[in-house]
Amino acid sequence: MIWRGDLTEIQRDLAGLKPMSESRVSSVIQEWAYPGQGHNHAPSGHVGSSSQLPQINMIPYSQSQGLVRGGADDRMAEQMMGMSYLPYPSSCISTSPNGGNHSNQQQNHGGAQQDFSSFLLPSLRVPANKRSINKDSPEYRLRRERNNIAVRKSRDKARRRIMLTQQKAQQLQEENKKLQLRIGQLTQELDTLRHILSQRHLHAAEDGATEETVI
């Protein structure tokens, strides 16, 4: 369930996709696209004082996406983000010495059954990737290592994204302050001019009146 608030037209700006050159944290403030969307970057667009800051692609973070934790026992997500960090019901905790790492060593999902499923519906077959997971096999280690790399990469990206969002928010805040100031200046100037004009109007009226009275 992706929640996204009301980002009216905030999207776009995604046209100029280009690979992220690292260590450019302070200029490209353009992230928070769908985490699963791969490489989304926008043109850096100079962040001047009174210029339009580059738009944010604000897709909020999958709003408390229903932690799995056991299955169908989420207590309605603890009132939509609540004290969900409290101790697990302990029926969901695996206290195995393996370190809680869901040891599925050789769990054949059915044990001694022949592969009848291959003659039946293909949807009932053993997933074919969980068949005899030997944790010492090179294939397993290869998969694990690749996943570890992917995990590190993904978390790196997330960290970068978070920092960029923070910097973006900070820049927006400063920009906002400047804009408020500018509005104050303009308003005051406008009041001054209005006053002057009203004075002139008054004088003109007086002149007209005096002329009338003189005539």
Q: Summarize as ranges the residues that interact with DNA (CB under 7 A).
A: 35-38, 61-62, 64-65, 67-69, 88, 93-95, 99-105, 127-130, 135, 143-155, 157-159
* 60 contact, one of DNA, a second copy, none, CB 5-8 Å limit per kind: a second copy
User: At its nearest, how many Å lie between DNA and the CB of residue 125?
Assistant: 7
Length of the chain (residues): 215
The rounded radius of gyration (Å) of the Cα atoms in the chain is: 32
Beta carbons of 8 and 56 less than 8 angstroms apart: no
Q: In whole angstroms, what is the distance from residue 189 CA to residue 197 CA?
A: 12
In the structure encoding, which two tokens stand for residue 177, read together? Answer: 């302050």
Nearer CB in complex with DNA: 99/111: 99
For binding to a second copy (CB under 8 A), which residues are involved? 5, 7, 10, 22-23, 25, 32, 52-53, 55-56, 58, 60-61, 63-64, 79-87, 93, 95, 97-101, 135-136, 141, 145, 148-149, 152-156, 159-160, 162-163, 165-170, 172-173, 175-176, 179-180, 182-183, 186-187, 189-190, 193-194, 196-197, 200
Q: In whole angstroms, what is the distance from residue 62 CA to residue 48 CA?
A: 32
Nearer CB in complex with a second copy: 107/113: 107
Q: In whole angstroms, what is the distance from residue 215 CA to residue 18 CA?
A: 78
- In the DSSP assignment, the letter for residue 125 is S
